[in-house]
Amino acid sequence: MRKLLITLGRLISSVIDFFYPPFKKYVSLQFFRYGVSGVANMAFDLTLYFLVYNFVLKHQMVHLGFVTLSSHIATLLIVFPISSFTGFLLQKYVTFTSSELRGHVQLFRYAMVIGANLLINYLGLKILVEIIGFFPTPSKMIITILTTIFSYFSQKKFTFKLQSHQKTE
């Protein structure tokens, strides 16, 4: 399975790298791969959310016995782990391929960064919308930019950190 993921990662990287030359003077190849794979994973997440919400749950409440979830929250709980894991695989096998940290360490650290992003989103929306009175959608856009930058550096320096003897790209 690992060999298949490595091969698939290299294939995806070569496709992304094909489109890199016009952006070469503006961003590093690693950041370009990060952005493209992130946008692709976001599109996957949104598509999966749409399909589960509309065709699996069919807008219905989900009764779990001890709690009832609205369909949009239940969909989030179904889709979030899937798109988070595909995001991890893309980062591991496409963007940050030089890291020699063990996979389970990377996955744990990735989960920590995702948790931090959820907290940043929650607090950011609370502050911008409820305290400052800014509109929700522009607030979310601002926070998304901040979490994207935070995520890139967190993934690079923490989750997929290079050992001190490794060279950076």
Model confidence, pTM: 0.83
Distance CA 89, CA 111 (A): 12
Distance CA 14, CA 58 (A): 38
Per residue of the chain (169 residues), give pLDDT as tens. Answer: 889 999 999 999 999 999 999 999 999 999 999 999 999 998 998 899 899 999 999 989 999 999 998 888 888 889 889 999 999 999 999 999 999 899 999 999 999 999 999 899 889 989 998 899 988 888 888 988 899 899 999 999 999 988 765 554 4
Q: Domain map of the chain by residue range?
A: 1-97, 99-169
> 164: helix, coil or strand?
coil
